[in-house]
Amino acid sequence: MGARRTMEIAERPEVTRARKVAASMKSQIVKLYDQPMSCIRIAEELNLPASTVRRTLAEMVPADAKLWREL
């Protein structure tokens, strides 16, 4: 039997995971949502991904949770 070839495993590309949002950031998101701002505008204002803003709004504003999950 021949010698086993071992290949160097390339470093995995960095997996981007959703950042956890601090309580103070959640309150800022809700305040901006109360001033009729769009999800994208809030994300730009706070330098967060839009998906994080949508998820936070779904958690913090249960009356509109279905709306934010559909987007």
Six-digit token string for 28:
């800022």
Say if 45 falls within a structural domain: yes
Q: Structural domain tally of the chain?
A: 1
Are 71 and 39 in contact by the 8 Å Cβ rule? The answer is yes
**What pLDDT is recorded for position 70?**
60
Token pair belonging to 30 = 């809700």
Q: Is residue 2 part of a domain?
A: no
In a domain, 8, yes or no: no
Judge if pTM exceeds 0.75: no
**SS percent in the chain: helix, strand, coil, step 5:** 55, 0, 45
Consecutive 10-residue averages of pLDDT for the chain (71 residues): 58 54 86 86 91 87 70 54
Given this model, what pLDDT does residue 33 score? Answer: 86
Query: In which domain, by residue range, is 53 found?
Result: 23-70
